[in-house]
Amino acid sequence: MQHKRFLTLLSALMVLAMLLAACPAPAAPAPASSGEAAAPAAEATEAPAAEEAAAPVEAASDDVVTIEYWQYNFEARVTAMDQLIEMFEAENPNIKVIHNADIPYAEFRDKIAASVPAGVGPDVATLFYGWQSAWIDAGYLVPLPEDAFPPATIEAEFSPMVSASFVDGTLYTLPTAVRTLALFYNKDLMEAAGLDPESPPTTLDELAEQAVKCTVRDANGDLEIEGFVTDLGAQDHHWFREVLVRQFGGVPYSDDGRTVMYNDDAGLQAWNYLLAFKTELETGDNTLFTDSTNAFVSGQVCFHVDGSFRLGTLAANAPDMNFGVAELPTHNGIQSTFGSYWTHGITKKAAADQARFDASVKFLQFITSAQAGAIWVDIVGELPAQLEAGNNPELAADPKLGAFARGLAYAHATFFADESAQRQAMIDAYDMVVLADEDPAVALDIAAETDQEILDEFFSE
Amino acid sequence: MKFTLRQRQIISAYLFLSVSLLFFIVIRWYPTLLAFNISFRDWNVFESSGPWVGMDNFAEIWKDAFKPRSAVRAAFTNTILYVAYGVPLQLILGLGVALLLAQIRRFSAFFRVAYFAPYVTSAVAIAFVWNWLYQPQTGLINQVLSALNLPDQPFTSSPKQALQSVTAVAVWQNVGFAIIIFLAGIQQIPETYYEAARIDGANGWQIFWGITLPLLNPVIVYLTVLSTISYLRLFALVQNMSPQGTGGPLKSTTTVVLEVYREGFSSYHMGYAGALTVILFFVILAITVVQLKFLTRRFDY
């Protein structure tokens, strides 16, 4: 009897579901139709001043416009942004900026995504440049107005890697700061291995050679100290695409970013170089000590490729570590590094209201100024995106930040259609070789094929 | 208007019930129905609206399932494997421990708490602890293996062992629930049956097969249905025990729910994720109906 009733209830539910599903467009609060309807309603409750200002735009100059800015929670970033907002509000008394930085990094994308159908969320948001494509594709980010951000000026004044923010010639986002990769080395471990801690590897061959010398195994053959760990889940997928492939004479992608090119001969040589640390030289294993970054932070790794942002992690978690940072090793005389950045965009929520849009543009101009970049580098330790601030000789001479700053001149940023999926393709290729005995060339071809599918899907839309 | 005491009691009962009903409608049923709607749309979560595409999402899932190295196919095969390994193991272990616990008087409360504790612990915390236990070389399990001169095992870092390693943790976490339910079932069986059987000269094995097991049938059905559903919906353990939460290595641990999450919130393909949810809903529904139909037997003595 119980089951009969249970089944009846279920079938009733199903019928209801089908009916609802068959409706041409769901009623009011359904996510599928909420955007336009819900956003103005939310604005009305949140920022009545802005609503009023919207109607007679020119006449409303005395009213205070409130805009909302979101970034993920990272203490130094929050402190720096609080300071910038304070300065901005002092200069623009009729604009108030609400700073939301309560969301942990891991949930940031989810929360933003969830805020959109709810009609709330930021007017100006900070996002990883690799996410741009998906957000632009969805119409969430609006183009930056050319009069406020002239493309020619941007190209002249900003680090060349910022060109990744132009999609088909239109600028969508702009960063305050950028990061590059460099080689971290543990001086104590080098010394213990009989290496000179003041002359870290400058070429790929030296890196391989010194990594082997630095590796220590115990009596059972277990790794105690890892010379170098290949870890595609960390920064090595960037190192492969934008640095190694170029150094072995290839290019990772075609100039328009639409075609994968790294699975040619040069790419395969680069791939084999990267794999050798695991398969031939056996200087490390990315599953030990959780992952390569953790292993380096806990003093178990000699050489590690990582970004400027890791300086903060090390300062917080390993304040006593005796380490240095050098520019990435060269090969065939070619210098390269991967550049990336967290960038700021204006959302369609801001664009729905002229007064708020104008305020957002002003705010974006302010936080991407050279002045803001200089404040940012002091507090956060990221390099200013504006060349004027980045070329500061004091910065280039800094024992830790210097190697990253010098990299700005030759950094490449990859154009990503879906950063996490494209990274996963590289991780899977590594796992195929290491865990499933796949031929390296075949694994690289599969990665390229997967990557190409992701790009094709993005560009076909 | 005047109500009798009885009527007033009924009215207040409904009043209180309506609160939880409202909760279920708003928090459970409405989103469920919306998921059906979304599954027929091409909706990227950043867009305010997605066009109606009919069965396109389902067709795409079907197509993807036949591609080489398909994540969807891996998700469905793995989910079936989780159920196939997890449910029998959980039931057999649960019954075994419950039978032992039913025998003891001393410390029985302590054992019950000990077995039940993992069930009420957050899956994320459990995943982290087991990640450390499973660590190659430095993890406790591998240290023990080394001490016994046995070869190290890669556990979750190898596609060959990852799924089984995660299943083991899921069983460890959920077996306490099975134990408690089995214990309650065992204590429901009247002592007189056992006495009669012993007088007739039945041995322990015969008593177990002839009395305990048949009379536990409703409990077994209940646990089979519930644990099957819970293994079909496995998510948190996998997300926290695979590298970068991707269901790896090489998709060896991914589940349908994890793919729903990744499609919906990493790639923003809400329609596709919604369609996967709908498929999973029907799979769960079908399996549950079949189980209820074929496992339920009445035993009367």
The CATH number covering residue A288 comes to 3.40.190.10
Task: Domains for chain B: give ranges and CATH numbers.
Answer: 57-295 (1.10.3720.10)
d(CA A337, CA A341): 13
Do residues A225 and A302 lie in contact, with contact meaning Cβ atoms separated by under 8 Å? yes
Query: Is it the case that residue A44 has pLDDT exceeding 60?
Result: no
Q: Token pair of B232, please?
A: 């079909």
Shared domain check, A162 and A89: yes
Tens of pLDDT, residue by residue over A112-123, are 888 887 878 999
Residue A53 included in any domain: no
Residue A124 included in any domain: yes
- Of the given ranges (A133-142, A271-280, A449-458), which has the lowest mean pLDDT? A133-142
Residues of B in contact with A109 (CB under 8 A): 265-266
Residue A365 included in any domain: yes
Structure confidence at residue A26 (pLDDT): 36
Shared domain check, A154 and A143: yes
Shared domain check, A290 and A190: yes
d(CA B224, CA B72): 25
Residue A238 included in any domain: yes
Specify the residue for token string 């001479």. A397
Shared domain check, A421 and A378: no
B34–A contact, CB cutoff 8 A: yes
- A16 and B248 within 8 Å at the Cβ level: the answer is no
Residue of A nearest to B248 (CA): A428
Domain that holds residue A98: 61-179+341-397
Share of chain A above pLDDT 70, in %: 86
Shared domain check, A320 and A227: yes
Shared domain check, A381 and A450: no
Residue A40 included in any domain: no
Structure confidence at residue A10 (pLDDT): 52
Shared domain check, A187 and A104: no
Answer with the one of A397, A429, A445 that is the final residue of a domain. Answer: A397
Closest Cα of chain A to B93: distance in Å? 28
- B49 and A33 within 8 Å at the Cβ level: the answer is yes
Structure confidence at residue B219 (pLDDT): 93
A219–B contact, CB cutoff 8 A: no
Reported ipTM: 0.83
Most confident of A16-20, A34-38, A381-385: A381-385
Shared domain check, A434 and A322: yes
Residue of A nearest to B70 (CA): A450
Q: Which of A138, A220, A428 sits opposite B46 (nearest CB)?
A: A138
Q: Which of B136, B157, B267 sits opposite A421 (nearest CB)?
A: B267
Residue A409 included in any domain: no
Q: Token pair of A237, please?
A: 């997928």
A435–B contact, CB cutoff 8 A: yes
Shared domain check, A267 and A168: no
Shared domain check, A382 and A315: no
Do residues A32 and B41 lie in contact, with contact meaning Cβ atoms separated by under 8 Å? yes
Pairing of strands A323-326, A65-72: unpaired
- A138 and B44 within 8 Å at the Cβ level: the answer is yes
d(CA A155, CA B167): 53
A116–B contact, CB cutoff 8 A: yes
Residues of A in contact with B64 (CB under 8 A): none
Q: Which of B34, B40, B249 sits opposite A30 (nearest CB)?
A: B34
B52–A contact, CB cutoff 8 A: yes
A427–B contact, CB cutoff 8 A: yes
Shared domain check, A227 and A292: yes
Query: Is it the case that residue B243 has pLDDT exceeding 90?
Result: no
Answer with the one of A351, A367, A397 that is the final residue of a domain. Answer: A397
Shared domain check, A91 and A214: no
Residues of A in contact with B74 (CB under 8 A): none
Helix H or strand E segment including A83 = helix A75-91
Going by C-alpha positions, the residue among A279, A294, A285 that lies closest to residue A217 is: A285
pLDDT top residue among A175 and A23: A175
Going by C-alpha positions, the residue among B265, B237, B149, B48 that lies closest to residue A33 is: B48
Residue of A nearest to B251 (CA): A428
Most confident of A324-333, B48-57, B206-215: A324-333
Mutate to test the interface with B, among A431, A438, A442 (most CBs of B within 10 A): A431
Closest Cα of chain A to B246: distance in Å? 8
- B41 and A32 within 8 Å at the Cβ level: the answer is yes
B45–A contact, CB cutoff 8 A: yes
d(CA B39, CA B259): 14
d(CA A360, CA B232): 46
Ordered DSSP codes for chain B: ----HHHHHHHHHHHHHHHHHHHIIIIIIHHHHHHHHHHTB--BTTSS---B-TTHHHHHHHHHTTSTT-HHHHHHHHHHHHHHHHHHHHHHHHHHHHHHHHH--TTHHHHHHHHHGGGGS-HHHHHHHHHHHH-TTTSHHHHHHHHTTPPP--GGGSTTTHHHHHHHHHHHHHHHHHHHHHHHHHHHS-HHHHHHHHHTT--HHHHIIIIIHHHTHHHHHHHHHHHHHHHHT--HHHHHHSGGGSS-STTSS--HHHHHHIIIIIS-BHHHHHHHHHHHHHHHHHHHHHHHHHH------
- Of the given ranges (A219-233, A376-390, B202-216), which has the lowest mean pLDDT? A376-390
- B45 and A3 within 8 Å at the Cβ level: the answer is no
Closest Cα of chain B to A134: distance in Å? 8
Q: Which of B48, B136, B285 sits opposite A10 (nearest CB)?
A: B285
Residue A408 included in any domain: no
Mutate to test the interface with B, among A6, A36, A120, A424 (most CBs of B within 10 A): A424
- Average pLDDT in chain A: 85
User: In chain A, what are the helix, strand and coil shares in percent, each to the nearest 5?
Assistant: 55, 20, 30
Section B7-22 average pLDDT: 92
Tens of pLDDT, residue by residue over B247-294, are 989 999 999 999 999 888 877 888 999 999 999 999 999 999 998 888
Q: Where does the pLDDT of residue A41 fall: very low under 50, low under 70, confident under 90, or very high at 90 and above?
A: very low
d(CA A10, CA B4): 36
Residue A255 included in any domain: yes
- A138 and B243 within 8 Å at the Cβ level: the answer is no
> How many domains in chain A?
2
Specify the residue for token string 């095992």. B153
